[in-house]
Amino acid sequence: MRKFAFRAPGRVNLIGEHTDYNGGFVLPAAIDLYTTAVAESIDEPRLVIHSSNFNETHEFNIEDETPRGDWTDYPRGVYVMLRRAGVKLTGANLAIRGDVPLGAGLSSSASIEVAVASSLIALDLSEDEKPTTQKSLNLALLCQKAENEFTEARCGIMDQFIAVHGLVGRAIMLDCETLHHTPAPIPTGLSLVIANTMVKHALAGGEYNQRRSECESAAKKLGVPSLRHATLAMLPTARLAPSELRRARHNITENTRVLQFVEAAKHNDLATLGQLMAASHASLRDDFEVSCPELNAMVEAAQTLPGLIGARMTGGGFGGSTINLVHTEDVPAFREQLAAAYQRLTSITPQIIVTKASAGVHACSI
């Protein structure tokens, strides 16, 4: 039996939220929290999936392509899409473990998908081929397709892309329409501090898909292929519903903020970085309406703390995490004081994670 292991990272998005499925710009970084998937070939037509995190094992016939509506849909969706794409898979044992917090807006789902896909692809190699990391757009696109079609989450390409292509010490500026991407600097002396609110509101899944539908409807009424091509000048005369107007305005202004953020980072303009992050959070809160009281409390609690450059929600919203850019020497005090302030405001103990931009998917020891 052949056996291979790959690990894929979670991600944090510095700026550019809900723009990826509208063909816009995003600025994610892979983080040093990973999902590891170990795939072993077996001579039986079954897929056996074990999760250390859930302490569960489930078995499926490989011809069964019916989603179950639980965590197994993420690895199974990848398995189904690989077989449809012509990867010669028979049976397999999959063992999955990870330290990307679930439901925290850090893309644990994409890290599972990319790790599983990479380990399963390695099983398809001939005996004399050495498994290599599948750093290709096709891998990211296949994993996105699995999430869109098998779990019915209409996500854009950002999460799977950064799980494949993440770079140590760099964010990546991604054009989600053309998939052109360039490394983007994170100013020296700054740390990425993720603050997990420990809240995930139940309406997130349906609301996410609703936001995407509203964006598509707005683009159609504006006569553009996606909101990437809309401008603020188009909005006053467009016959948009109030919610469509707000969604369009967020996307237009957020795309501009991503481009400005990259330029400010190149010039070490920390004040502008902070202003752009604040404007992004306000737009997500008021125009895109995907924030929540806990996210707002976390952002507000950070404002007067030592070392803060900027804070905003990150990820799909309705709970999850904020991203804070903080002077590295101030991180210990910032971390302690943010946790205490948030707990005072909400009576919830948060999870504060200090992370760094890290590598994308790669082979690892079993």
Structure tokens at 357: 């931009």
Q: Which residues contact 95 (CB under 8 A, 6 or more apart)?
A: 37, 38, 40, 50, 52
Nearest to 153 by CA among 212, 94, 196: 212
Q: Which residues contact 183 (CB under 8 A, 6 or more apart)?
A: 167, 170, 171, 172, 173
Q: Report whether 157 contacts 140 (CB < 8 A).
A: yes
The vertex-198 CA angle with 99 and 257, nearest 5°, equals 90
> Does residue 70 have an active-site annotation?
no
| Cα–Cα distance for residue pair 63/66, rounded to 1 Å | 9
Q: Report whether 59 contacts 46 (CB < 8 A).
A: yes
CA 132 to each of CA 34, 96, 160: distance values in angstroms, whole numbers, following the listed order: 18, 19, 18
Question: Which phi and psi angles does 163 have, rounded to 5°?
Answer: -65, -30
**Beta strands 46-51 and 91-98, pairing class:** parallel
**Which listed residue (20, 73, 159, 287) is catalytic?**
159
Q: Which residues contact 339 (CB under 8 A, 6 or more apart)?
A: 349, 350, 352
Q: What is the DSSP letter of 130?
A: P
Structure tokens at 245: 């107007």
Question: Which phi and psi angles does 307 have, rounded to 5°?
Answer: 85, -5
| Cα–Cα distance for residue pair 30/111, rounded to 1 Å | 10
Active site residues: 159
